[in-house]
Amino acid sequence: MIVLFFVWQKVVCGIAGIAAKLVNGAGNLGRVRRMISQITHRGPDDEGYFFDSGICLGHARLSIIDLDSGHQPIANEDKSILVVFNGEIFNYIELRSDLIRAGHHFSSLSDTEVIVHLYEDYGDDFVHYLNGQFSIALWDKNKQKLLLVRDRVGIVPLFYTHVDNNLIFASEIKAILPALHSSPSINIHALDQIMTFWSSVGQETIFEEIYEVEPGKMVVFQDGKIAHSQYWEWEFTDAHYDEADHDLAEQLEDLLDDAIRLRLRSDVPVGAYLSGGLDSSVLTSLAHRHKKDNLRTFSIGFDDKSFDESSYQKEMIKYLGSEHSHLSCSYQDISSNFLQSIWNIEAPILRTAPVPMGLLSGMVRKQGYKVVLTGEGADEVFGGYDIFKETKIRQFWAKNPDSSFRAVLLKRLYPYLNISQPQALVYLKNFFGAGLDDPNSPFFSHIPRWLTTAKTKAFFSEDINAQLSKSAIDSISERFSPAMSNMDAFQKAQFIESRMLMPGYLLSSQGDRMLMKNSVEGRFPFLDHRIIEFANGIHPTKKMKVINEKYLLKFAMRKRVPEKIINRFKQPYRAPDIPAFFREDGESDVTELLGTDYIKKYGFFDDKKVSRLIEKIRRGRATSYKDNMALVGILSTQAVNHLFVDKQVTGNQMLDINEGISYGC
C-alpha cells in the first residue's frame, strides 16, 4: 500500500526519513513526524509525508517556487520514484522543457519534480544535470534503494545514522535525535578537529555515529548496506592558462550574470546581503540589472566600530540607489542570542561571528523576504583570502628563512590591525614562521593558523587528552594529500579552504543555520559550479597578481563597482567575542556554563585552567586571538553538551533550550 498525504498548516525546507529493509514504513510515521517537528523553522509553510514498504519520508516546506502545487514528497507518474528535497534547482525551467520533449508528464511547476524524471532517464547520474544547492532523498521503490545526495560544495546540510538496520536521515542532527534510543555522545576526535580546523572533517560530526553527507557525494542505502560515491570534486586544470585578461574577464562577467539571473528565479521577492566588500557589491550591482523593481538590500554593523563596515555599505547603497535596511548589533545582542544560535548550529564554534548573521536573517524575514543573494564563495574561488597572500609571501620567505626583510612583508597584509609595535616583527616571525622548513607540505598554507587555533586544546582535561592518540593534522594527511599531489602552493591553499572551512563552517555554522533559523534561504551565485570550474582553469597569477587578491574579478567588475570598493583593503567579517560576554555592565548569564560545576560535570576541559582564563578576562588581560577562541570554543562546547546530551532529547521529547540553566535566553 502506498500512502501519500499532506498536512496543510502554518507549520527553507527540511527533510527527514527512515529506510528499513522489509519494514512497513507506516510503523515509522510517528517517529518521522517527531523528526520533522524539530525542524519546522526550515519549513514553516506546510508538511508532507509518504510511507510504503521499507520507507517513510517527511518534508517541511518553505514556499518559494510554485507556491500552490509544489508540495512534497513528489513522485513520478507511476509513484515508483519519490523525492523529498531541500534547496533549489536553478536550471529547472530548462530541464523541464527537455524532459517534456522526451515524453515526461509533470503534475506541478516546481523545481523538485525535475529530479524524479531525470532519475528515470539517467539513474544515479541525474545529479550531473543539476545546477543548484540541494540535499535530496530519493526512494526507488522497485529497487528498494534510497539515495541521499548533497550539492557539490556543501551549501545545504544532510545528516544520517545507521541504527538497528535503519538508515535515519534529516536536514539537521536535532531531527535525528527523536528517532534514537538514547542521547548522543560527543565525538572527541571531531572536537579535536574543530579545535584545530574550526570544523570537523569529512563525514564526522560532533556526535558519535551521526554522519554528514559530504559535499559532492551520494550515499546509497540498499539491502541494508551503505555505499558512498563522489560525483564531483574541486579540481584544477590549465584550461584557460593561455587566454588574455580581457577575454577571461568577459567570460567571467557572462557566467556571473547568468548565475545571478538563475538565482533571481522565485515566486517571492529576492533581496541581497550587502556587506560593503567587493563580493556583495559585485552581486548587488549585477542583480540590479535584472530586477524590474528596486533591489532590496540588507546589512549588519556593530556598535563596536572596530568591527563596523558601514561606511563602505553606504558607498554602495548610494551607487545603486537601493532600498536598504541596516541592523546594528551590540555586545548584549550577541550574548543573549548565543545559546539559541548553538542550538541551530549543532556544533562548537570558535568565534561569535555566526550570531549576528542570525540576527540579520531575522530582520530580513520580518521585512517580508524569504530569499537573499549572498557573496560567500568568491574568496575561495578567486583567491581572496589573506591566507593566500600569506602563502605567497611565506613561500618567498622559505627560500631565505633568515631574512628579516621577507618576514616584514607580512605586516603589509593587515593595515586594519595594530601590529606597529616593536614586538610585531617577533610575533610575525613566530606565527608565520611555523612550518617554514617544509614549503612542499600539502598543508603549508594553513599550518600557522591551525597551530594557533590548536592552542585552545591546552584547556582539554586529562581524560580528553588521553583519548586522543594522534594529532588532528596527522589524521587528515591520508585523506587530502593524494588529491593535492599535482597542485601548486596557491591551489593547495584554495583546495583546503574550499573542502574544509567553507562547507564545515562558513556555509554551515555561519551560513545555512543562521539563515534557516529564521526561514530564510540564502543563494550563492559565486558557487555556481560553472563559475568554479571556469576559475579552477585560470592560472593562479590571474587570481592574485603579486598580492592583489581577486585580480580577475576586480578587472572584470571595474566598471560595475565604485573604485573605492575595488581598491579597499580586504577586511574579513568579524564580531566581538570576549567583550560580548564580559561587559562593563556585567557578565552574560550564559557564562554560567563556564562555572566549575558545569566544567567538572561535562569533563571536556580542565576546570582550573578554565578558571584562570575567566580570571584573566575579568582583569582585562585576555585580548589575544587565542584567548578569544578559547573562551568561545569552551563555552560553545559546553552549550552543545548541555542542549543535546545532558538534556537527553530522545523519542518524543521536545527540546526546550531554556530548561536546566537558571537563566533565560
pLDDT tens per residue across span 514-569: 999 999 999 999 999 999 999 999 999 999 999 999 999 999 999 999 999 999 88
Contact in structure between 598 and 459 (CB atoms under 8 Å): no
Residues 405 and 538 in one domain: no
Residues 37 and 180 in one domain: yes
pLDDT of residue 10: 29
pLDDT of residue 330: 94
pLDDT of residue 303: 87
Number of H helices, E strands in the chain: 28, 19
Residues 54 and 158 in one domain: yes
pLDDT of residue 12: 54
Q: What would the pLDDT profile of 466-516 be if each residue is shown by its tens digit?
A: 999 888 998 898 889 888 989 999 999 999 999 999 999 999 999 999 999
CATH number of the domain bearing residue 372: 3.40.50.620
Residues 67 and 91 in one domain: yes
Per the domain annotation, does 578 fall within a domain? no
Residues 132 and 184 in one domain: yes
Average pLDDT over every residue of 219-243: 95
pLDDT for residue 421 is more than 90? no
- Work out the pLDDT band at 424, boundaries 50, 70, 90: low
Average pLDDT over every residue of 41-70: 76
Measured CA to CA in angstroms, residue 196 lies from 191, 348, 447, 511, 626 at distances of: 9, 12, 10, 20, 12
pLDDT of residue 430: 80
Residues 97 and 193 in one domain: yes
- Does residue 636 or residue 573 have the better pLDDT? 636
SS3 229: strand
pLDDT for residue 77 is more than 60? yes
Lowest mean pLDDT among 60-64, 145-149, 400-404: 60-64
Strand partners, 74: 83
Lowest mean pLDDT among 394-408, 440-454, 580-594, 615-629: 394-408
Q: In what order do the strands lie in the sheet with 159-163?
A: 3-7, 46-61, 14-24, 166-170, 159-163, 211-212
Choose the final residue of a domain: 499, 524, 546: 499
pLDDT of residue 423: 63
Q: Which domain holds residue 23?
A: 3-230
Per the domain annotation, does 181 fall within a domain? yes
Residues 386 and 469 in one domain: yes
pTM of the model: 0.93
pLDDT for residue 9 is more than 60? no
pLDDT for residue 296 is more than 90? yes
Which residues have CB under 8 Å from 218's CB, separation 6+?
124, 127, 147, 148, 149, 150, 228, 229, 230, 231
pLDDT of residue 487: 95
What are the DSSP E strand ranges found in 62-131? 74-75, 81-89
Which residues have CB under 8 Å from 354's CB, separation 6+?
341, 345, 509, 510, 513, 514
pLDDT of residue 268: 87
Residues 212 and 360 in one domain: no
- Give one DSSP letter per residue of 287-342, joined into a string: HHHH-SSPPEEEEEEESSGGG--HHHHHHHHHHHT-EEEEEEE-HHHHHHTHHHHH
- Work out the pLDDT band at 425, boundaries 50, 70, 90: low
Q: C-alpha grid cell for residue 472? A: 588532528
Residues 58 and 18 in one domain: yes
Per the domain annotation, does 659 fall within a domain? no
Contact in structure between 167 and 18 (CB atoms under 8 Å): yes
Residues 194 and 290 in one domain: no
Contact in structure between 265 and 109 (CB atoms under 8 Å): no
- Work out the pLDDT band at 266, boundaries 50, 70, 90: confident
**Distance from C-alpha of 137 to C-alpha of 169, rounded to nearest angstrom:** 9
pLDDT of residue 27: 83
Q: Burial of 149 by CB count in 10 Å (0-12 exposed, 13-18 middle, 19+ buried)? A: buried
CA dihedral 11, 14, 20, 25 (to 10 degrees): 30
pLDDT of residue 586: 79
Per the domain annotation, does 68 fall within a domain? yes
Q: What is the mean pLDDT of the chain?
A: 89
Residues 196 and 60 in one domain: yes
pLDDT for residue 54 is more than 60? yes
Average pLDDT over every residue of 251-258: 97
Choose the final residue of a domain: 447, 464, 499: 499
pLDDT for residue 206 is more than 90? yes
Question: Where is 272: in which H helix or E strand?
Answer: strand 270-273
SS3 207: strand
Per the domain annotation, does 661 fall within a domain? no
Q: What would the pLDDT profile of 355-397 be if each residue is shown by its tens digit?
A: 999 999 999 999 999 999 999 999 999 999 999 999 999 999 8
**Distance from C-alpha of 160 to C-alpha of 148, rounded to nearest angstrom:** 9
Measured CA to CA in angstroms, residue 218 lies from 152, 214, 345, 656 at distances of: 10, 8, 23, 34
Average pLDDT over every residue of 16-42: 88
Residues 292 and 225 in one domain: no
In percent, the amount of the chain with pLDDT more than 70 equals 91
Whether omega for the bond prior to residue 540 falls within 30 degrees of 0, making it cis, is no
Per the domain annotation, does 656 fall within a domain? no
Output the CA torsion sign for 130, 136, 140, 144: positive
Residue with cell 545529479: 127
CB atoms within 10 A of CB 556: 24
Query: For the chain, what is the domain count?
Result: 4
Q: What would the pLDDT profile of 308-343 be if each residue is shown by its tens digit?
A: 778 888 889 998 888 999 999 999 999 999 999 999
Contact in structure between 74 and 62 (CB atoms under 8 Å): no
Phi-psi region at 519: left, alpha or beta (left = phi > 0; alpha = psi -120 to 50): left
pLDDT for residue 411 is more than 90? no
CB atoms within 10 A of CB 440: 9
Choose the final residue of a domain: 499, 520, 550: 499
**Distance from C-alpha of 201 to C-alpha of 590, rounded to nearest angstrom:** 28
